[in-house]
Amino acid sequence: MVMRRIFGRKKDDEKDAKGKSSTTEETSEEIGGETGTEAAEEAEDAPIEAGTIPYHTSLTDRFKYMFDDPDISAGLEGTDEFFLEFMAMGERFWFAKKAKGEVEFGTGAVPDEDVYIRIGNDAVRDLLGASTFTEFQGFYMKYYKNPEAGKFVKIELRKDVNGLNRRGYARVPLLKLLIGMTR
């Protein structure tokens, strides 16, 4: 199917292509100037926008993965500190990072959080089903900007936005998304 899209072939031509592998190589060189192997190598070298996110059964696991991913949480080591509290699927959990420390997580409430985020049950299902960070970001912002019954993201900033930005929220793609600053 992918070969049909690349070479613009129809299903009838596919049967003829099985016996003509040398013609396929010539066609690929004419169209793209590269063989399939060279194209695959270039695709691996090209920067991928945060790649594919593996399947997770809970939002906590999804955020743990995202905080550990170097592309999604780029610049996280430069942040001063943060405290995020979430309410999703009837559970409260939090993520925090102290100055020059690692990201920690836990269940329950955290005192003096920077941001409190509530996520609707149906929105959680869509966020867990997102296969890339871009797709996750799309769902998150969609439900933040246009909430529906059961599909919403409510963000309550408990600290001043300028103070959050000075502490590094604006430099980290994931934190920027979580506080609703992504456009």
Report whether pLDDT(2) > 60. Answer: no
What are the backbone dihedrals phi and psi of residue 41, each rounded to the nearest 5 degrees, phi first? Answer: -65, -40
The per-residue pLDDT for 7 is 53
Q: Residue 83 corresponds to which tokens in the numbers above?
A: 């405290």
For the beta carbon of residue 74, count every other beta carbon within 10 angstroms. Answer: 14
> Under a CB-based contact definition with an 8 Å cutoff, are residues 113 and 156 in contact?
no
Q: What is the pLDDT of residues 28-51, one digit of tens each?
A: 344 444 433 333 333 333 333 557
Rounded to two decimals, the pTM is: 0.69
**For residues 119-130, average pLDDT:** 95
**For residues 122-134, average pLDDT:** 94
6 falls in which pLDDT band (50, 70, 90)?
Answer: low
The per-residue pLDDT for 46 is 32
Q: Residue 28 corresponds to which tokens in the numbers above?
A: 């690929």
The per-residue pLDDT for 39 is 36
The per-residue pLDDT for 178 is 92
Report whether pLDDT(57) > 60. Answer: yes
